[in-house]
């Protein structure tokens, strides 16, 4: 399909597999999809042009790299659910004429839209809204993009116009950005897009829940009603998702974390601040020890830094005011005995560890012989997330990162970068996260949030691309997903419930070394500037453990389980031998417990299974006489009677940490 008349000018379209197709200038995204194949064109939801997602109706005006997006692509899924969100907004306004739609967004498999309404929606309201959404979907009217000046955009919104839309249009106009609306039939909404070709492509949807929210997440702003939905191309996929949701409720880390005595959050300490209980601390310590072992093998040096630093340190790095909206307020202190305002100093609970590690690098002169200089820290940082955004361990206000910063020469950069990628892969595979995708987060040239110079970004992005291709890894390039100081490689993991989580990350940074004027003496005797690599395989212990709890449903592998083995005496008279078995477990390095309760053995076994203990050693009179144990393995049952020494040797193997090369 070509817009208007067929153009004489031909442009080249480069597809993801490297194939190049020629097509007339002005060919739409749908036309490009049809060039590739009818099935792809039927499934297409949007098109990605040089990394930017656009409507299928958008014409191509120049040669470009193009990817046709379907529901299999994360961006395609976002487009479908975003489109369903507009169907939701129209349905709400049709049924509740006084409703004021504010804004929506998507996260993972859900989309939400916020409304200002006189009262919260009820379950009956949601049923009515879903029914009306079905009617709008079945009308199958096109989504039409309109780019307009502010006054015309306000006018065309009609009943959808409200103070929220007016504020957004004013802000877009102030920043000189394009103001776009989308029309579906006779209903119009302010939206950046893109959207599916028509409402009929909104698919099979379900309204999941409602919740309170605030405009801009600010408790001083108007209160809103948030409606969550999900959508899939077919009813079968939707039903499978809803079944996963039910399974997820059983695996909820907040519920299991309490039942298994892993962590607690006390309002007396503060929301979003995790208290690790002994069993949770044992799990975390094992994860730390596992990673420390790999870091030692890879030549890292461990450091410790304070939880607080001078405000000017973070001004130099750019973290303040970049993270200002999600930071705890600065702490202003006057020098003791001084009434002079000039003596007042500002401090900040650290939002990142990087500036502290930079100061450790600076503390001693460096030559090329000292590089790579690899610093690692399990460092706690703080972000003041809004209370409505907090969620158990996965969204908190204080968290500990398995953070590291590598200072390297240009010649060392790509090799070190490859090794950090391999380290992250080793960690993910060791924890049974084998299903993942790699997201290459790039700078969006149209945004002003990024530091440094374009040529630095071009070099950093080229470094990452070279490494990923050199490792023969599939990856997607996504504009706007970079850190403010550099592009990054994110590992997006799919768990056993088919949910996606962004876990490990690796980032290349030419910007902070320049801001802090870092240097080393090269082999030529001249002063040079190092390059930084930021990396965190887990991301944060709190979030990672929350995800692990749900991934394993609390039944951790033996090497990671807080309690690896429990000794279960059948009768009280074998307690002396049971204590010997317990001592043997501890001496073998196992995290073990002894159940001395005067309960029947069946009760003790069920209790151990409920608490997800992977290894059970049953001791009765016969076992005591033979200096043996009856071994039970979680989910495998009775393994028979083994001599104590043989049982210990097997348990040590069962509970061994994963090891091997990073590949």
Distance separating alpha carbons of residues 110 and 379, to the nearest angstrom: 32
Q: Give which of 169, 94, 181 is closest to 139, Cα–Cα.
A: 94
* Contacting residues for 228 by C-beta, under 8 A, at least 6 apart: 110, 111, 112, 207, 208, 209, 210, 211
Read off the tokens for 489. 């490689």
* Contacting residues for 576 by C-beta, under 8 A, at least 6 apart: none
* Contacting residues for 36 by C-beta, under 8 A, at least 6 apart: 15, 21, 68
Catalytic residue among 534, 543, 566, 591: 534
Residue 534 annotated as catalytic: yes
Distance separating alpha carbons of residues 396 and 152, to the nearest angstrom: 42
Distance separating alpha carbons of residues 476 and 33, to the nearest angstrom: 19
Residue 405 annotated as catalytic: yes
Q: Give which of 426, 415, 468 is closest to 662, Cα–Cα.
A: 426
Q: Around 63, how many Cα atoms within 13 Å sit in the side-chain half-sphere?
A: 8
* Contacting residues for 141 by C-beta, under 8 A, at least 6 apart: 184, 185, 198, 199
**Contact in structure between 24 and 10 (CB atoms under 8 Å):** yes
DSSP per-residue letters across 133-166: HHHHHHH-PBEEEEE--HHHHHHHHGGG--HHHH
- Bridge partners of residue 189, in order along the sequence: 182
Using a 10 angstrom Cβ sphere, with 0-12 exposed, 13-18 middle and 19 or more buried, the burial of residue 524 is exposed
Q: Give which of 204, 1, 189 is closest to 84, Cα–Cα.
A: 204
Catalytic residue among 54, 354, 357, 566: 354
Q: Give which of 86, 58, 114, 40 is closest to 200, Cα–Cα.
A: 86
**Contact in structure between 190 and 42 (CB atoms under 8 Å):** no
DSSP per-residue letters across 370-418: G-SEEEEEEEEEE----GGG-BTTTB-SEEEEEEEEEEE-HHHHHHHHH
Residue 201 annotated as catalytic: no
Q: Give which of 417, 291, 303 is closest to 357, Cα–Cα.
A: 303
Catalytic residue among 82, 383, 442, 612: 383
Q: Three-state DSSP class for 634?
A: coil
* Contacting residues for 4 by C-beta, under 8 A, at least 6 apart: 26
Catalytic residue among 189, 402, 403, 495: 403
The helix/strand count (H/E) of the chain reads as: 20, 32
Scanning the structure block, which residue is given the tokens 């190049």? 20
Q: Give which of 371, 643, 647 is closest to 522, Cα–Cα.
A: 371
Catalytic residue among 405, 443, 535, 612: 405
Catalytic residue among 201, 226, 253, 488: 488
Residue 488 annotated as catalytic: yes
* Contacting residues for 96 by C-beta, under 8 A, at least 6 apart: 115, 117
Q: Buried b vs exposed e over 158-194: b needs ≥16 C-beta within 10 Å?
A: eebbbebbeebbeebeeeeeebbbbebeebbbbbebb
* Contacting residues for 155 by C-beta, under 8 A, at least 6 apart: none
Catalytic residue among 327, 401, 419, 564: 401
Q: What is the set of active-site residues?
A: 354, 383, 401, 403, 405, 488, 534
């Amino acid at each position: 399909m070509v817009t208007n008349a067929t153009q004489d000018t031909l442009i080249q379209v480069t597809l993801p597999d490297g194939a190049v197709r020629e097509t007339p200038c002005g060919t739409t995204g749908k036309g490009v999809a049809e060039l590739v194949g009818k099935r792809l064109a039927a499934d297409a939801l949007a098109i990605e042009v040089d990394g930017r997602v656009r409507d299928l109706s958008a014409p191509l005006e120049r040669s470009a790299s193009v990817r046709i997006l379907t529901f299999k692509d994360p961006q395609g899924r976002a487009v479908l659910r975003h489109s369903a969100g507009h169907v939701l907004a129209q349905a709400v306004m049709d049924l509740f004429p006084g409703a004021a739609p504010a804004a929506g967004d998507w996260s993972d498999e859900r989309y939400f839209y916020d409304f200002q309404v006189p009262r919260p929606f009820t379950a009956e309201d949601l049923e009515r809204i879903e029914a009306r959404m079905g009617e709008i979907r079945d009308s199958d009217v096109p989504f039409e993009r309109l780019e307009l000046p502010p006054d015309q955009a306000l006018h065309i919104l009609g009943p959808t116009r409200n103070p929220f839309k007016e504020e957004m249009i004013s802000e877009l106009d102030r920043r000189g950005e394009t103001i776009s609306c989308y029309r579906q039939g006779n209903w119009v909404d302010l939206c950046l897009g893109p959207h599916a070709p028509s409402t009929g492509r909104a698919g099979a949807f379900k309204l999941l829940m409602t919740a309170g929210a605030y405009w801009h997440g600010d408790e001083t702003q108007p209160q809103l009603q948030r409606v969550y939905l999900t959508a899939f191309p077919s009813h079968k996929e939707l039903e499978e998702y809803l079944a996963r949701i039910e399974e997820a409720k059983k695996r909820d880390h907040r519920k299991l974390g309490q039942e298994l005595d892993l962590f607690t959050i006390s309002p007396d300490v503060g929301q979003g601040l995790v208290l690790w209980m002994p069993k949770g601390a044992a799990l975390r310590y094992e994860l730390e020890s596992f990673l420390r072992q790999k870091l030692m093998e890879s030549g890292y040096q461990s450091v410790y830094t304070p939880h607080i630093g001078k405000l000017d340190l973070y001004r130099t790095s750019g973290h303040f005011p970049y993270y200002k909206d999600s930071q705890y307020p600065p702490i202003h202190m006057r020098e003791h005995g001084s009434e002079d305002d000039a003596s007042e100093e500002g401090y900040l609970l650290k939002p990142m560890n990087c500036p502290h590690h930079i100061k450790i690098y600076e503390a001693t002169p460096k030559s090329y012989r000292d590089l790579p200089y690899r610093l690692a820290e399990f460092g706690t940082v703080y972000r003041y997330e809004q209370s409505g955004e907090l969620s158990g361990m996965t969204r908190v206000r204080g968290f500990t990162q398995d953070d590291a910063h590598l200072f390297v020469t240009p010649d060392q950069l790509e090799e070190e970068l490859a090794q950090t990628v391999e380290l992250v892969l080793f960690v993910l595979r060791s924890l049974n996260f084998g299903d993942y995708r790699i997201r290459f987060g790039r700078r969006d040239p149209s945004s002003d949030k990024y530091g440094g110079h374009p040529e630095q970004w071009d070099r950093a992005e080229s470094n990452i691309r070279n490494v990923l291709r050199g490792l023969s890894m599939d990856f997607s390039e996504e504009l706007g997903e970079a850190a403010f100081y550099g592009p990054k490689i994110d590992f997006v993991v799919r768990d056993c419930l088919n949910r996606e989580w962004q876990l490990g990350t690796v980032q290349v940074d030419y910007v902070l070394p320049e801001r802090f004027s870092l240097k080393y003496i090269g082999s030529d005797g001249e002063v040079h500037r190092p390059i930084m690599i930021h990396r965190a395989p887990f991301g944060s212990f709190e979030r990672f453990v929350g995800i692990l709890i749900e991934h394993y449903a609390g039944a951790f592998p033996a090497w990671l389980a807080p309690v690896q083995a429990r000794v279960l005496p059948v009768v009280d008279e074998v307690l002396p031998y049971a204590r010997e078995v317990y001592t043997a477990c501890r001496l073998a390095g196992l995290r073990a417990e002894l159940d001395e309760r005067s309960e029947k053995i069946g009760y003790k076994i069920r209790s151990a299974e409920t608490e997800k203990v992977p290894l059970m050693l049953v001791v009765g009179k016969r076992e005591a006489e033979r200096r043996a144990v009856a071994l039970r393995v979680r989910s495998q049952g009775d393994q028979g009677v083994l001599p104590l020494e043989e049982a210990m040797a097997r348990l040590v193997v069962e509970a061994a940490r994963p090891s091997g090369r990073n590949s």
